[in-house]
Amino acid sequence: MKTQKPTLTKLILLFCLPLILVRCGDSSVNLREADQWSDQQFYENAKTSLDEEDYRQAIVIYQALAARFPYGNYAEQAQLELIYAHYKANNLEAAISAADQFVTTNPTHVNIDYAYYLKGLVSFEEERSFTERLTKGGDAQQQDVKPLRDSYAAFKEMIDRYPNSRYVSDATQRMAYLLNELASYEVSIAEYYFSREAYVAALNRCRTVVKDYQQTAAVEDALGIMIATYTRMGMSDLATDSRQVLTQNFPSSAYLEQSNSEIARRGFFSRLLRRGNTQSNDRRVTATDTAASNVAVDDDRPGFFGRLFGRDSND
């Protein structure tokens, strides 16, 4: 077996090299001698491609490095940077897979918090695509909120495991945004059920928001729908109770300007509920736009590229 392993890795490398050469073109990085490179040369050329934003070429070189020097000095760092390269190349599934593999194989790595953070960031990009579809008229019933939940879970795990990580502040802001998106999604579904007179289903969605997303802006809308739903169902006492809760938590709410029957009339929510358009000074959490947030990272360890976060944040 020992005599076969070098041959196998060389075959993998030779398979990768034509792909590198195809992508290379007029690149200043000379890849034709790659089969003679040391692990350091592989890493430096991959890093050069990464810094020059040639992410696809960087991916191929990182993968070739992993095949040729799986236990070399640069193997772990290359695996870490491969996650970022996949992310920037918009290979989102590959980025998540690479992050999971890194966490599994390098559980004590000094920068493992970064892998968790990137995994959350990748799903966050998927979530932004979901939000665009929804706000541009997509059917909320047909949307997949898994990216939102996955992103939130990855950020939360990173914070729980590494509370002193340099990425905690940014991850916390993104989690607040994700909670607002998840809560707003529930409200959208509740309004959908309400408009179709599926009142029990609408109430269940609203209760989820009030119970699980207490610190989000969507609670106000959920309470408004509860008032309307109970009024439609003839449960005036429960409608009054919901109004009292709304008054206590959102005393300036636009819903309070309307009577219960007015809130319950047809068409009310279809005009009022628009993702991102409802405003209230009483809301506890706003859907923070974290796209412009910066994570300032300085590190003198060889090959560490945390500074890219600053550039990435403004993309």
What ranges do the domains of the chain cover?
Answer: 179-290
pLDDT value, residue 151: 93
Query: Whole-number mean pLDDT of the chain?
Result: 77
Q: How far is CA 308 from CA 42, 209, 268, 305, 314, in A?
A: 20, 36, 46, 6, 10
d(CA 295, CA 170): 7
Amino acid at 170: D
49-78 confidence digits (pLDDT tens): 999 999 999 999 999 999 999 888 899 999
**Minimum mean pLDDT among 2-6, 246-250, 255-259: which range?**
2-6
pLDDT band at 127 (very low <50, low <70, confident <90, very high): low
The letter for the amino acid at 19 is L
Say which range, 1-10, 93-102, 210-219, has the weakest mean pLDDT. Answer: 1-10
Other beta carbons within 10 angstroms of residue 73's beta carbon come to 14
Q: How far apart are CA 259 and CA 166, in angstroms?
A: 49
d(CA 175, CA 196): 32
The fraction of the chain above a pLDDT of 70, given in percent, is 69
Residue closest to 124 by CA, chosen among 100, 92, 85, 81: 92
Which class is domain 179-290?
mainly alpha
